[in-house]
Structure 1
């Protein structure tokens, strides 16, 4: 399989998992293919910090997040395959699917934790993306 455009949702807290995602994506890419890294900030969705944190704090966090995603992209993805570092805010699975549609990705490569009993009842982000994505989804454990 030789894909032109892979979208890769990432969690900055788990760089070792992102390395596995990159390895998978590179195996799937055409010689001229690119990888876009997507970070979804879901902090405002849960409203856990909204009452205690100013808008300036969120702006600073977004700038730091953008730099961290770009640094990860530059560190892990060979230059010829480097696409964009993308930041979106919202519900993770909704934003991944929306970005895949917007960027017309050929595939999504994303990580998923090993299932626990509760995930069979609630479903994980990866499971929801697999069901609703407009393209193929490769899940890395």
Structure 2
């Protein structure tokens, strides 16, 4: 299978998983294909409850997150395979599915940690994305 456009959701807290995602994505990608990375800031859904004094901290956090995601993108994606670095706000699974559709991705390559007991009851982001994405989803353990 050879793909032209892969969307790769990332979590800044798990660099080792991101490296495995990249490895898998590069195996699936055409030589001239591109990888977009997507970071979903799920704290945005909690901003409505934040007071104004906390709002400034959230703005600072957002700026720091943008820099960190861009630095990760530049460090891990080969220059000739770089698509876009995207940050969205909201529920992770919803935003990944929406971005994949918006960018017309051929596939999503994402990591998933070993499930904990609660994920069997609530469902994981990976499971929701697999069920709702318009394209193929590759889950890297």
TM-score bucket of the superposed structures, by smaller chain: over 0.9
Aligned length: 141
Deviation at 1:13, TM superposition (A): 0.8
Q: Contact 1:44/1:50 (CA < 8 Å) preserved in 2?
A: no
Out of 23-32 and 113-122, give the one that drifted further.
Answer: 113-122
Q: Are residue 90 (structure 1) and residue 85 (structure 2) matched?
A: no
CA distance in 2, matches of 1:53, 1:109: 38
CA distance in 2, matches of 1:31, 1:51: 48
Out of 92-101 and 57-66, give the one that drifted further.
Answer: 57-66
Deviation at 1:56, TM superposition (A): 2.4
TM-score where L is the length of structure 1: 0.93
Secondary structure, counterpart of 2:97 in structure 1: helix
Q: Are residue 133 (structure 1) and residue 133 (structure 2) matched?
A: yes
Q: CA RMSD in A?
A: 1.6
Gaps of 5+ in 2: none
Deviation at 1:44, TM superposition (A): 2.8
Q: Which residue of 2 aligns with 1:110?
A: 110
Matches within 5 A, 1:1-141: 1-46=1-46, 50-51=50-51, 53-141=53-141
Gaps of 5+ in 1: none
Secondary structure, counterpart of 1:22 in structure 2: helix
CA distance in 2, matches of 1:26, 1:53: 43
Describe the shift of the 1:53–1:83 C-alpha distance in structure 2 as closer, same or farther (beyond 3 A).
farther
Out of 50-59 and 3-12, give the one that drifted further.
Answer: 50-59
Q: Contact 1:4/1:29 (CA < 8 Å) preserved in 2?
A: yes
TM-score where L is the length of structure 2: 0.93
Describe the shift of the 1:92–1:134 C-alpha distance in structure 2 as closer, same or farther (beyond 3 A).
same
Describe the shift of the 1:48–1:13 C-alpha distance in structure 2 as closer, same or farther (beyond 3 A).
farther
Out of 55-64 and 71-80, give the one that drifted further.
Answer: 55-64
